[in-house]
């Protein structure tokens, strides 16, 4: 078991997520799952995202990592999240591409209304900057999953302008396509400004925290590793699991056990299938690690 092996499995995941599916058009039911681009004062919606911010902060404190200002309302009353992210790879002709889709959510508890032109949002990946993509032929053939449904990216309608009145929460789709192909899950950071106030939303850190991944080693010489998933798995934080598997492969592990806590939400079928594929293949490798 080595980095090549797990990278190969991850590549299968990225390609498989977007191929051989029935594409469904985005609809009002999809849009109604998120705050509108013009903001809302709905208490339940605001409470939902405030709860998520607290969960992220608590997990980062547990991991002894600093809490970025973007995940806290304490200082300036402004916080942001990338909801329902989908990072995947697909093939078009002889080439492979990657894309990122997600719902950028901004919570404004300050006294000042905010506005953001979505065209000014940038995605930073491996030291390179990407703009929100315009519709091209590529977007006709790429899709993303949300729950048990598949949606075509070409049917999404990102807002041109996000308006977040004081005391409200607003959101919009962000779509970055044409990203370079690869076998890893790189760091994904969204950057923009409200006037002179710069924001850098580390989506990878956010979803690593929401995964609530734990690992402990037991048995003689710590040869058995027990890994616990306490949160939600998605196509971003699944990279945390891969990286940890690679670390375990360099140690004298004979068995890896993955379990889910009672509070962990249901894993979407396509991600569970990938985990099962890893479990069935890992024990056949030369190192004989069993998952």
pLDDT digits (tens, 9 = 90+) for 168-210: 999 999 999 888 887 778 999 999 999 889 999 999 999 999 9
Q: Could you tell me the residue ranges of all domains in the chain?
A: 19-207, 210-282
Residue range 209-233: mean pLDDT, rounded: 87
Rounded CA-CA distance 127/74 in Å is 30
Under 8 Å between Cβ of 239 and 185: yes
Q: What is the mean pLDDT of residues 124-137?
A: 80
Main-chain phi, psi angles of 169, to 5 degrees? -130, 140
pLDDT bin (cut points 50, 70, 90) of residue 1 is very low
pTM for the predicted model, two decimal places:
0.83
What pLDDT is attached to residue 181?
A: 82
* pLDDT given at position 259: 87
CA distances from 171 to 49, 59, 103, 105, 164 (A): 11, 24, 6, 4, 9
| Banded model confidence at residue 37, pLDDT cuts 50, 70, 90 | very high
Q: In whole angstroms, what is the distance from residue 204 CA to residue 126 CA?
A: 12
pLDDT of residue 136: 54
């Amino acid at each position: 078991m080595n980095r090549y092996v797990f990278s190969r499995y991850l590549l299968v995941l990225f390609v498989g997520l977007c191929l051989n599916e029935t594409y469904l058009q985005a609809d009002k039911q999809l849009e109604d799952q998120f705050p509108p681009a013009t903001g809302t004062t709905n208490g339940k919606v605001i409470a939902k995202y405030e709860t998520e911010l607290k969960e992220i902060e608590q997990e980062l404190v547990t991991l002894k990592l600093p809490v970025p200002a973007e995940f806290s309302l304490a200082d300036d009353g402004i916080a942001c999240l990338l909801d329902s992210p989908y990072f995947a790879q697909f093939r078009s002709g002889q080439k492979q591409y990657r894309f990122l889709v997600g719902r950028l959510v901004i919570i404004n508890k300050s006294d000042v209304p905010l506005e953001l032109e979505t065209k000014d949002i940038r995605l930073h990946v491996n030291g390179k900057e990407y703009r929100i993509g315009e519709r091209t032929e590529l977007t006709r053939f790429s899709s993303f999953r949300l729950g048990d449904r598949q949606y075509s990216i070409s049917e999404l309608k990102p807002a041109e302008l996000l308006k977040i009145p004081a005391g409200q929460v607003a959101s919009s789709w962000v779509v970055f396509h044409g990203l370079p192909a690869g076998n890893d899950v790189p760091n994904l950071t969204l950057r923009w400004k409200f006037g002179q106030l710069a924001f850098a939303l580390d989506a990878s850190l956010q979803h690593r925290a929401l995964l609530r991944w734990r690992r402990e080693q037991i048995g003689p010489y710590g040869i058995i590793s027990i890994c616990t998933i306490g949160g939600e798995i998605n196509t971003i934080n699944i990279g945390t699991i891969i990286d940890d598997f690679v670390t375990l492969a360099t140690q004298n592990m004979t068995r890896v056990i993955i379990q889910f806590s009672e509070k962990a939400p249901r894993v979407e079928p396509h991600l569970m299938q990938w985990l099962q594929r890893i479990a069935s293949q890992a024990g056949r490798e030369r190192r004989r690690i069993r998952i």
